[in-house]
Amino acid sequence: MTDASTRIDETIKANDVVLYMKGTKSMPQCGFSSRVAGVLNYMGVDFADVNVLEDPEIREGIKVYSDWPTIPQLYVKGEFVGGCDIITEMTLSGELDTLFEDNGVAYDKEAANKIREANA
């Protein structure tokens, strides 16, 4: 394992929910990262954010680690969930709620329902 994948592995194992993104959860620096961070923030999910723009090794390493070419990338309980499109679909279908519930991740069900109502 490279240094980057070791660090990624440690971060993912140390946190229930991790978002590898461009920017931070309080200041996203791309639309896709902003959308996923916005959903998680709105739903009140406690998550670790990793700004790939600050670390070129992690930025490339995360793509190799997950075998997924784009950022953002969401991990829940050590498992890669997906990028922006997948998270958006899962939020709207209710699958993200189920994933959080199955993994004991606290979130605001009412907020999740509001997102679905707004996009219905």
Q: What is the arithmetic mean of pLDDT over 84-92?
A: 97
Confidence of residue 52 (pLDDT cuts 50, 70, 90): very high
Tokens of 60: 């490339």
Q: Is the pLDDT of residue 120 over 90?
A: no
Fold that domain 3-118 belongs to in CATH: Glutaredoxin (3.40.30)
Positions at the binding site for [2Fe-2S] cluster: 30
Positions at the binding site: 30
Mean pLDDT of all residues belonging to the chain? 96
What is the percentage of the chain residues whose pLDDT exceeds 70? 98
CB hemisphere CA count around 85 (13 angstroms): 2
Q: Please give the torsion angle defined by the CA atoms of residues 81, 36, 100 and 20, in that order, rounded to the nearest 10 degrees.
A: 50
Query: Which pLDDT value is given to residue 51?
Result: 98
Q: In this structure, are residues 71 and 59 in contact, taking their beta carbons and an 8 Å threshold?
A: yes
Beta strands of 1-120 (E only): which ranges?
17-21, 48-51, 73-76, 79-82
